[in-house]
Amino acid sequence: MIALFRLARRLSETDRTAFLRGLALMVTVLVMGVALLGLSGWFVTAAAAAGVAGVGVGFDFFRPSAGVRFLALGRAMARYGERLLTHDATLRALAGMRSAVYAGITRLPHEVQSRLRGAEALNRITSDIDALDGLMLRLVLPISAALAGLAAGTLAVWFLVTPAAAIALALIYALGGTLILAVTARIAHRPAAAAEAGLQSLRAASLDLMRNRADLAVAGALDRLTGVALEAVNAEETARNRLDDIERQSSSALSLTVGLAAAATLYLGGTAAEAGLISPARAAIGFFVALALAESLGALRRGLAEWGRMQGAAERVLRLTDTPPRPEPAVVPLPLPEKPLLNVTDLRHRRAGAQRDSFGPVSFTLARAETLLITGPSGVGKSTLLATLAGLTAPVSGQILLSGVPLADWSEELLRSWLTLVPQRSALMAGTVAENLSLALPEGQPLDEDLLWKVLEAVDLASTLRAREGLATQLGPHGSGLSGGQAKRLALARAVLRRPKVLMLDEPTEGLDAPTAKATLAGIRALLPDTGIIFVSHRSPDADLADRVLHLAE
Amino acid sequence: MTETCLSPAEAKAELARLTAPVSKQLRSAGMLAALSEMLWAAQAALVATALGGLVAPPASLSVPQAAIGFVFVMLLRAALDAAAQARANRAATTLVASERAQLLTEAARLDARATGMAPAELASLAGEKLALLGPYVSRFTPAMTRSRIVPLVFLALVAPLSWVVALIFMIAGPLIPVFMALIGMAAQQASERQMAHMGTLNGTLADRIAASADLRLLGAEARAGRELSIVFHILRARTMKVLTVAFLSSTVLELFSALGVALVAVYVGFNLLGEITWGSWGGQLHPASGIFLLMLAPNMFQPMRDLAAAWHDRASAFAVAGELKAAKAMLSEEGQIMGSGAAATALPPAALSWHGLALRPGPGAAPISLPDGQVAPGEAVAISGPSGAGKTTLIAALAGLIRPDAGEIRWGETALAEDSADAIRAGLGWLPQAPQFIAAPLSEAITLGRPGDLAAALKAAHAEEIIAALPEGLATPLGDIGGGVSGGEARRLMLARAHHAQAHLILADEPTADLDAETAQLVLAGLMALRDGGAALLIASHDPTVIAAMDRVIALEGNGHDAEDRT
């Protein structure tokens, strides 16, 4: 509930004027609808009375009939404008929310981020934001418009029919609406969460079944896990049925509210007319206004049905947008050029909750223009060491001095311009080779194609790309369209373009044959003569390429 | 997946086939809803009589009587609506659940070669896409029934009172679908373009999220954020384009219905005043008839408006029906495993032998003939051969995960067949080429629900220290491809699984591929430990160290088909 309020506030803040204008139009539409039915009812009844009385000739039929036509056409047009305005404002606000969610994801700790990879997390994020489009369109705005419309209708009935009819109308609608809204919000939350959970576990179970079906079949577990998936199907079905029941009940309750309000105004107006207090035509107004106000509840019906799902989505989206900012040091000390480039002492790292260190203690020094090879068996923590040195994850103890200054004291921006790391599974993106490379360069500068080719030459990728479409060669999602080794070298080229003072490479030679590996590393060294290079490899010939070797043992 | 777009007629037929099991419920839901809608005429008659009585006494119905009657009919209508909706909703959930169950059950038994459907595609089809059939069933179908019945009934009620009003209904009514169709076609195109863009948007976002560490290391986070926000706004602009057309169509609908209502109101008013004397079968309308006509007018168009509102449910259901049809066709074309994959009692140790085998490495590939061979209990045998010689395919066939085109596989005297596959597999251990874990706590991913001594298995595979470095130990969920452990560690966990299975024969596919020498040695030692425990080994490998450690080698020649695509 609180999450929905907070989110509605954030969404409406993005473009308050647009939402207010949309709301004003929504109220206009509602009021025009109420006026249309009220006027038509009055007109027909009054015309009948005049006809019966034989005074039809003197009856001013021109203005009411023009009013009916104006209201009918104007209302449809106003509705078109209102829909465009409110949808545009909502979509703008949601686009902003998507950006905020992405920014929140970039601020997540490295360990959490690496678990977010993959279509599942993405699916969750996009569908959650999509689910929120009803919050403004089908809850906040219609509720506000319904209140305004009810106030206008009540006033009209007060003056045109009787105060008693007005009070009955306002009470029945306000009480009925509030009660239904409150009860639905309360009881829909749990089944909506259950339906969502059911759908997620159904998806997870489908993935498991399909991916691991061979393993599961040999283990004789395929049958059992299919059963688990079918249970998820049933759980979702049960929760969905429950949600449908709630929606149906609230829908019936809304219909009943309308029926009661219409009957009450008919009764109160009609008896007043019988008593001769007002004309029958005026009595008709009350009844028709009550009927027309039913439209204000229409949009709410769907909003109520989505309530539970929106609530869960709002909570998850806010959790991501609320990711705390990265700590930035208050004072950034100046690097000390006389100190060694990198000085690491007694560095230890342990994952949260683990019983064993990922690596350590590790100590070493890296000088400018030096190449250091880190070797060790798989699982000894080589990649985690590089991530720690790059400031992606914090050590439990020990010290990293970059040019004499502790790593934690570097600002993110300055640190990234000094030091870069090419992870083992480096991610490229859909787009051209030039677009992928230009990510490494300052924004807004014209592309220096010669420089790009020089770097591609250095990583032995130039001839491959020349044979295709050069820098305009198009890559698919995740850089598909290049072989593993080519993608690796493109990522290397991207890092070299940044001209870092410390360059760290995780398994740069994996997937390359020995001569290519050698040529690539020599090419990088030639372009970056003063850079301290650290690379991780488990291939023994690679030792020749380094000035020094650091062996990590278990 | 292949192109899945069906023509509207095909999609309609496919949906009719899908909804056939629930068609009875749907028909009764539509009828009940139509009945409820028709009862509005009763409410209108009550109110019109009372108001008409006020205008032109004597009243045949007092105002309180009319008010009570109005509420009573409203209650009846609410009950009818609820009953209709309950039937429609239940039909929808039943249909979706049964399609999901059928899809998952069949997909789980696809043979090991099948590549027709990516796991994420299955998850998305079984998950949110099939869910889109729900609104079609529960909203569109009853609305369709209503729009066929209710306007005709109202027309029949109106015609005896005034042929002019009936004419207005008859002209305004059918024109609505014509305009709707015209605008709907434009909307369809716009929405298809937008759907395509939506796909690229999700791809772009996925790329950025997967690359978040890289972007940070390149100092390009803020820039990627700005670029994404441009993409988000392009999507918004395209969505608005679709909505503009969609809203236009509903505005046209509203205009027509509003015009219809306004015309009726003005005509009835003039007639009651005596200004117009034609159109009501000679005489003047009674005040009650006039009010009745006015009240009926908006509801005359309501079913069509509901139908228009549910139109996009139909469009999404058409798309899903196409995909579902393609998926089912794929499932029936690709092979199924032998047996059901259920737990069974293992057969006693015996030699696994194969004779005259011919196997297709992929769905479209030509069969490869393989040399006969056998593995005796306790024996260690390597299968070697160049890429594409059929090593992986042979291993899968021996486990009953692929049906051979020719030949026979035997466990002792028992032939591998539908009824014996589960029991034969119960004696097997399995080390796949790419280690994968189910999305469950690691303990369950290793045991896969089988009884046994997990601690001993972890110890035997030297996997205890891997567990110790994990955040939650054995309770850590590793997820699909073992995020959180290195490739070598994942292999050792797979070894622990093989130890835990207490198998008579271990089938392993390239157990040392992509590993450094040190780790490869560790994995090989783990395999040899399994052998020392009494299990036979059959290992497909081209690693000379592994082959040298075996008692014997079965060499596959390969016949030029490069079907095993290893990159």
SS3 content of chain A, % helix, strand, coil (to 5): 70, 10, 25
Among the listed ranges B130-139, B160-169, B197-206, B407-416, which one has the minimum average pLDDT value? B197-206
Asked whether residue B19 is assigned to any structural domain, the reply reads: yes
Question: Does residue B526 belong to any structural domain of this protein?
Answer: yes
Q: What is the pLDDT of residues A343-392, one digit of tens each?
A: 999 999 988 778 888 887 999 999 999 999 998 877 788 888 999 999 99
* Number of folded domains that form chain B: 3
Interfacial A residues in 190-219 facing B (CB < 8 Å): 199, 202-219
- The secondary structure element, H or E, covering residue A549 is strand A548-551
Do B166 and B154 fall into the same domain?
no
Q: Both tokens of residue A552?
A: 């990590």
DSSP three-state, residue A511? coil
What does the block give as tokens for B253? Answer: 């609908």
Work out the minimum CA distance from B99 to partner chain A, whole angstroms.
10
Contacts of A314 (CB under 8 A, 6+ apart): A3, A4, A6, A7, A132, A135
Least confidently predicted of A283-287, A413-417, B338-342, B436-440: B436-440
Mean pLDDT taken over chain B = 86
- Domain of B215? 162-284
- Beta-bridge partners for A366: A342
B519-527, Cβ contacts within 8 angstroms, sequence gap of 24 or more? B519/A377, B519/A378, B519/A379, B519/B487, B519/B488, B519/B491, B520/B545, B520/B546, B521/B545, B522/A377, B522/B462, B522/B488, B522/B492, B523/B488, B523/B491, B523/B492, B523/B495, B524/B549, B526/B460, B526/B461, B526/B462, B526/B492, B526/B495, B527/B495
| pLDDT band, very low/low/confident/very high, at B562 (cuts 50, 70, 90) | very low
Assigned token pair, B226: 């700005």
Predicted local confidence at residue B212, as pLDDT: 84
DSSP string, A95-164: HHHHHHHHHHHHHS-HHHHHHH-SHHHHHHHHHHHHHTHHIIIIIIHHHHHHHHHHHHHHHHHHHHS-HH
Per-residue pLDDT averaged across B256-265, rounded? 86
Residue B237 falls within a domain, yes or no? yes
Is residue B5's pLDDT more than 70?
Answer: no
Looking at A155-164, A205-214, B85-94, which range is the least confident one?
Answer: A205-214
Q: Tell how strand A419-422 and strand A431-432 pair up.
A: unpaired
Q: Closest Cα of chain B to A466: distance in Å? A: 22
Q: Are B334 and B108 in contact (CB under 8 A)?
A: no
CA B249 to chain centre: 30
Q: Which of B215, B337, B469 sits opposite A356 (nearest CB)?
A: B469
Q: Tell me whether residues A260 and B71 touch, CB distance under 8 A.
A: yes
The length of chain A in residues reads 554
Is the pLDDT assigned to residue B199 strictly greater than 70?
A: no
Query: How far apart are the C-alpha atoms of A334 and A404, rounded to whole Å?
Result: 9
Count the neighbouring beta carbons within 10 Å of the beta carbon of residue A60: 9
Burial of A418 (0-12, 13-18, 19+ CB in 10 A): middle
Which residue of chain A comes nearest to B120, CA vs CA?
Answer: A207
Task: Name which of A110-124, A284-298, B3-17, B360-374 the model is least confident about.
Answer: A110-124
Mark whether B183 and B126 lie in a shared domain: no
On whether residue B307 sits in a domain, the answer given is no
Distance of alpha carbon B123 from alpha carbon A443, whole angstroms: 39
Are B111 and B95 in a shared domain? yes
Same domain for B544 and B433, yes or no, is yes
Q: From A313, A310, A306, A369, select the one nearest A341 (Cα to Cα).
A: A369
Please check whether residue B125 lies inside any domain of the structure.
yes
Q: Give A425's pLDDT tier (boundaries 50, 70, 90).
A: confident
Q: Are A276 and A269 in contact (CB under 8 A)?
A: no
Are B401 and B541 found together in one domain?
Answer: yes
Cα(B333)–Cα(B330) distance, integer angstroms = 5
Is A327 strand, coil or helix?
A: coil
Residues B381 and B439 in one domain: yes
* Beta strands per DSSP E along B412-532: 414-415, 428-431, 505-509
Q: Which of residues 470-489 of A touch B (CB under 8 A)?
A: 477-478, 483-484
Contacts of B268 in chain A (CB under 8 A): 44, 47
Higher-pLDDT residue of B390, A258: A258
Asked if B116 and B218 sit in the same domain, the reply is no
Which one, of A242, A126, A259, A118, lies nearest residue A187 by Cα? A242
Spatial contact of A254 and A295, defined as CB atoms under 8 Å apart = no
Q: What residue ranges define each of the domains in chain A, with the CATH number in brackets?
A: 2-53+61-321 (1.20.1560.10), 342-551 (3.40.50.300)
Cβ of A95 within 8 Å of Cβ of B254? The answer is no
pLDDT at A445 over 60: yes
Query: Do B95 and B131 share a structural domain?
Result: yes
ipTM over 0.95: no
- Asked if B492 and B436 sit in the same domain, the reply is yes
According to the model, what pLDDT value does residue B508 have?
94
DSSP A352-397: TT-SS-SEEEEEEEE-TT-EEEEE--TTSSHHHHHHHHTTSS--SE
The CA distance from A140 to A460, in Å, is 59
Does B74 reside within a domain?
yes
Confidence class for position A130, pLDDT limits 50, 70, 90 = confident
Is B347 inside a domain boundary?
no
**Structural domain ending residue among the three candidates B263, B284, B305:** B284
Q: What is the pLDDT of residue B198?
A: 67
Model confidence at B505, in pLDDT bands (50, 70, 90)? Answer: very high
Assess whether pLDDT exceeds 60 at residue B418: yes
DSSP assignment letter at A536:
E
Residues of A in contact with B240 (CB under 8 A): 84, 87-88, 91
Q: Is pLDDT above 70 for B480? A: no
B65 part of a folded domain: yes
What is the pTM for the complete model shown? 0.83
The answer, yes or no, to whether residue B284 has pLDDT greater than 50, is yes
Burial level of B464, CB count in 10 A (0-12/13-18/19+)? middle
Which residue of A83, A218, A477 is in closest CB contact with B206? A477
CB B475 within 8 A of CB B441: yes
Q: What is the pLDDT of residue A120?
A: 61
The CATH number assigned to the domain holding B271 equals: 1.20.1560.10
> In terms of Cα–Cα distance, which of A194, A210, A207 is closest to A123?
A207
Q: Is there a single domain that holds both residue B276 and residue B154?
A: no
What is the number of alpha carbons within 13 Å of residue A379 lying toward its C-beta?
A: 27
Q: Which of A370, A363, A323 is nearest to A347 (CA)?
A: A363
What dihedral do alpha carbons A76, A78, A81, A85 form, nearest 10°? -130
* Half-sphere CA count of A335, side-chain side, radius 13 A: 17
A424 in contact with chain B, both atoms CB, cutoff 8 A: no
More confident residue, A328 or A177: A177
Runs of H (alpha helix) within B274-355: 287-309, 311-333
Average pLDDT estimate for B137-161: 92
- Could you check whether the bond before residue B58 is cis, i.e. omega within 30 degrees of 0? yes
For the stretch A47-88, pLDDT in tens is 999 988 887 677 888 898 899 989 989 999 999 999 999 999
For residue range A454-498, list pLDDT tens digits in order.
Answer: 999 999 899 889 988 899 998 877 777 787 778 888 999 999 999
Residues B183 and B66 in one domain: no
Instruction: Note whether B151 and B167 are same-domain residues.
Output: no
Crossing angle of helices A2-14/A16-53, nearest 10°?
100
Distances (CA, A) of B343 to A493, B111, B154, B508: 52, 18, 63, 21
